[in-house]
Structure 1
Amino acid sequence: MPELVNKAKKGLQWSAIERILTQGIQLLITLLLARLLGPSVFGLVGMLAVFIAIANVFVESGFTSALIRKTDRCDNDLTTAFYYNIAVSVMCYLVLYFSAPYVAQFYQQHELQSLLRVLGLTVVINAFTLIPRVKLNIVMDFKTQAKVSIVSVVISGTTAILLAINGFGVWALVIQTLLNASSNTLFYNLLTPCLPSGKVSKQSFNYLFGYGSKILLSGLLDVIYNNLYQIIIGKKFSPAVVGQFSQANQLASVPASTLTGIIQRVSFPMFSQLQEDPIKLGNAYQLTLKMAAIVIFPLIIGLGLIAEPLLTSLLGNQWQPAAALLTALCLGYMLYPIHAINLNLLQVTGRSDLFLKLEVLKKIIGVTILLLSIPYGILVMAIGLSITSYIALLLNTYYTAKLTHISQWRQCKDITPIWLAVILSAALAYVAGLAWQAQPLLQIAINLFVALLCYSLYLFFAQKPLVIQLRTILRR
């Protein structure tokens, strides 16, 4: 167990370095590109996001989780997954290529046809990184992944900025995506060659697809649902409005997905190695849940707190409508890492059937809320998205309680006080900054100072043992 803890700690550190640096650099690049290109350009790319994401889900097909979870994996498993990924990626690209005219017609934006045909190439390119990523995740080698991701994002981001300055418009974003995928593929295969030495095996495929197919279906539902807002907004509103929403959604999701990725990539292999001991698994799950909440909640809500002065000072007044959307979305995205921990537990315990059932139920509820909110405008739609996240938390904890000795009430009890402290701290900070709205940078400083002070006092008086435990783990 101590060896696993040390391995998980190193994995967490390098996973954090990779995610934070990569996403941080990407965020800075995105902000600069947003200022240079404007909402309409981002709206065009946002309209196509769902089609690329769906293709990537089909290519991955849940095989990554299946390979990581399988303790007796062999070369035949890796070989079968590799050739399956490549074959499916080619088929998906052909579908994207020939459907491009219909996508452009749906949105009534003719330039989307050529954009989709070029962006679709990333689906094939990314397929060659899946096996190297699996190999590195299994041994928790996030140091190599950190190096690859950081170099790739710098190369692609710098190129995109130069293209944007020189008037390439939306193609700056397209080339950035292609170059990032190509760089990742090149470096991953130089450091960890993806061509396996085994044979394609029917037995391996049956296991991988048998487990992964449910992950595939749930992932497909998740991708379609998460992009449903942009599809509807793209159909009903202009590219500029799509750009406002997609930018707000990206800004809210970057810290959430970054922190979720860090936790998910480390907790899944760690939980996998504890799956035979329910008590240890439950204890590790509970500790991960509380520590994620204590760190992540204030970071996401802090972004929502300073949304308006941040966007107007960095991007200009053309992006001001995105501020209210960003604040509303942050209230929901703060729970995403908690969702990831819950769902990891379902996958590790082999309940991919329950995982799928849960995803279907959540999507039905989410679509219902979406349909009810459409008539009231884009802000209410964003609020509805956040409400869905809280309903999802109740459903996730209900099912994970059945697989551990930790009840749903105990799970909610662990994180609710932290949630309340963060919201109260943000509310007090918002009031303190109202007098400084004419000076955005000073308002941001006051907001963050007051929020940090209030939250720190809460941690000191109410969560001191947990803070000490977190500090002890990090120092090991």
Structure 2
Amino acid sequence: MNYSMKSKTYTGIIWSFAKFIITFGIPFIIGIFLARLLMPEDYGLIGMVTIIIAVANSLIDSGFSQALIRKKNVSQEDYSTIFYFNLLISLILYLIIFLCAKIISDFYSEPRLIPIIRIISLVIIINSLSIIQRTILIKKIDFKSQALIVLISSTISGIIAIFLAYNGFGVWSLVFNTLISNFLQTLLLWIYNKWIPSFVFNFTSFKSLLGFSSKLLASGMIDTIYQNIYSPIIGKSFSVVDLGYYTNAVKYKNILSNMISSSIQQVTYPVLSEIKENKVLLKKNNKKLVRTTMFLQFPLMIGLLVVAEPLFFILFGEKWLNSIPYFQLLCIVGILYPLHTINLNILKVIGRSDLFLRLEIYKKISFTILIVIFFQWGIIGLIIAQVINSILSYIINSYYSGKYIDYHLKEQIKDFLPVFIISLLMGIIVFLSSLILPDNYFIKLSCEVIIGVIFYLSICKLAKIKELDNLLNIFFSYLKDINFKKKKKESSPNE
């Protein structure tokens, strides 16, 4: 990888991480205020429609964005064709959901859902207008622009949502937060990107992209349904308040567990696609990816599991303490999340979307069996089923991706085992320290975080875990790149 590509990758990773922090960090902060102003029941109502919006958005994308990112030479006709297809699908889906709102509300025996579904589903059309704009920026590895766009839109929509919640709008503050945020993002993407679709629909282009994307669409649909399947199960079998506790636990687990892997994956997918013919180089880069990602992921999720009680009390208040056991178990699920995405990423890079789909079917069959077995133990049992499924899914994903780049499960475990053991020790130390710390939640959380960070970094340094130095090198490489560009800009007038 030449200097230019390295520099672009380092810069992309940093801005992708910044974008993810902004994308979920601002809503996280906004969510703290909203959680204190709203009731678990309000989040339960939103949780009931989450699967509908998620599935619809998955259908709109149809895997075409991944196909466009993977394709080396994308034409204006390619972009325009997929743009019009996405828009058409979004309009059809919105009409179907609008007409089915009464049926959905009857399923939950919750008449309040009808207007909520019909209004919040507008986000489907809004998002369809931004997919190509985002894809273009991702291909350019331009996450700085996306980060700034998300910062502006999330801040404005969040302030409006807090104002609405404070004035008693309840669940509608969450509905309008979603709509306004996505509308502003789409508007700003169009203003910044300046891409305009041509009046053309190329069936040849559509067919060529469909070959790769159709399998990703099917696998994405299956995954999206199962990622959100607990909302209708809990909403139907338990109370709307119980669903509210679970919805918030999932929301904040996803924000924190996806933060690292999604930031790195967004950048590395287009970069790895450029070297997909070289299996040796693919393996080398994937090893680095596994080691670096898990160096960050293990301590983050184990640390969150241990400090969950004071964290939830301080951020959300006493009324959300029932979410804690759900959140802690979900942190165990989140530990392995990056390993799933990294291994599946390889299958997409090498063009095996057919295998990608087949694996999703295998994993979801086993997940269905686990849900049936553990349902009798309530919500906790359902989350335990997720934990077991996460472990089984990792074994399956790593087996098949490992076959193609000769990077198998045993070697992957060997690469991340040292930081897992250190992270586990850190979690034990933090837990033991919590037993002797004062009962004041503010003091307890502060001390636990400080103890955990110092212990983890110190042991990693003593154990000579090189990922610590690698991350510092990425940061300094980014600073070097900034300095290089600055000097180049200063010298350009004299040239």
Contact 1:263 1:341 in 2 (8 A): no
What is the aligned partner in structure 1 of residue 450 from structure 2? 449
Of 16-25 and 244-253, the range deviating more from structure 2: 16-25
The alpha carbon displacement at 1:378 in A equals: 1.2
Question: Which residue is 1:351 aligned to?
Answer: 352
Q: 1:211 & 1:421 partners in 2: Cα distance? A: 41
TM-score (ref. length: structure 2): 0.94
Please say if residues 68 and 209 of structure 2, whose CA atoms lie closer than 8 Å, have aligned partners that are also in contact: yes
In 1, Cα distance between equivalents of 2:418 and 2:363: 25
Moved more, 311-320 or 233-242: 311-320
Aligned pairs for 1:249-264 (under 5 A) are: 249-264=250-265
Say if 1:458 and 1:92 are closer, same or farther in 2 by CA, change over 3 A: same
Kindly report which structure 2 residues correspond to 1:106-255, keeping only aligned pairs within 5 A, or say none: 106-197=107-198, 199-255=200-256
CA distance in 1, matches of 2:388, 2:464: 27
Partner SS for 1:403 = helix
Q: CA deviation at 1:316?
A: 2.1
Match of 2:56 in 1: 55
Taking the aligned partners of 1:28 and 1:391, their CA distance within structure 2 comes to 34
Letter in 2 for 1:289: V
Deviations 1:216-256 (A, max 9, x none): 11111111101111111000111110000010111111012
Deviation at 1:194, TM superposition (A): 4.2
Q: Secondary structure at the match of 1:459?
A: helix
Cα separation, 2, equivalents of 1:455 and 1:208 = 46
Equivalent pair of 2:53/2:124 in contact (CA under 8 Å): yes
Is the contact between residue 47 and residue 231 of structure 1 (CA under 8 Å) also seen in structure 2?
Answer: yes
1:45 corresponding residue in structure 2: 46
**Cα displacement (A) at 1:411:** 1.0
- SS of the counterpart of 1:362? helix
Structure 2 match to 1:90? 91
1:326-475 alignment runs, 5 A limit: 326-436=327-437, 438-475=439-476
Q: Paired residue for 1:293?
A: 294
SS of 1:402 mapped into structure 2: helix
The 8 Å contact of residues 75 and 199 in structure 1, kept in 2 or not, is answered as no
C-alpha contact (below 8 Å) 2:43/2:244 kept by paired residues: yes
Write the distance in 2 (CA, Å) between the matches of 1:49 and 1:222: 14
In 1, Cα distance between equivalents of 2:36 and 2:369: 35
- Please show how residues 303-322 of structure 1 align to structure 2 within 5 Å: 303-322=304-323
Is the CA contact (8 Å cut-off) linking 1:156 and 1:179 kept in structure 2? yes
Closer, same or farther: CA 463–47 of 1 in aligned 2, 3 Å: farther
Partner of 2:281: 280
Tell me the distance in 2 between the aligned counterparts of 1:308 and 1:425.
17
Unmatched tracts of structure 1, length 5 or more: none
Moved more, 259-268 or 92-101: 259-268
State the distance in 2 between where 1:201 and 1:82 align: 11
For the aligned residues, what is the CA RMSD?
1.3
| Cα shift at 1:22 | 2.7
Please tell me whether the aligned partners of residues 45 and 244 of structure 2 are also in contact (alpha carbons under 8 angstroms): yes
Distance in 2 (alpha carbons) for counterparts of 1:281 and 1:149? 31
CA contact (8 A) 1:79 1:200 kept: yes
Using the alignment, how far apart are the partners of 1:195 and 1:76 within structure 2?
A: 11
Q: For residues 189-233 of structure 1, give each alpha carbon's deviation from its aligned partner in whole angstroms, at most 9, with x where no partner exists.
A: 011134323731111111111111111111111111011111110
Of residues 426-435 and 44-53 in structure 1, the stretch that sits farther from structure 2 once superposed is: 426-435
Q: What is residue 485 of structure 2 aligned with on the other side?
A: none
Partner of 2:11: 10
SS, match of residue 377 in structure 1 = helix
The equivalent residue for 1:265 is: 266
Range with greater deviation from structure 2 (408-417 or 263-272): 408-417
**C-alpha offsets along residues 137-171 of structure 1, whole Å, 9 cap, x if unaligned?**
11101111111111010011000000000010110
Give, in whole Å, the separation in 2 of the partners of 1:416 and 1:368: 30
Moved more, 397-406 or 415-424: 415-424
Are the aligned partners of 2:260 and 2:296 in contact in 1 as well (CA < 8 Å)? no
CA contact (8 A) 1:39 1:240 kept: yes
Contact 2:223 2:360 in 1 (8 A): yes
2:74 corresponding residue in structure 1 = 73
Partner of 1:20: 21
Deviation larger for 460-469 or 316-325? 460-469
C-alpha separation between the residues in 2 aligned to 1:142 and 1:418?
29
The number of residues matched between the two structures is: 476
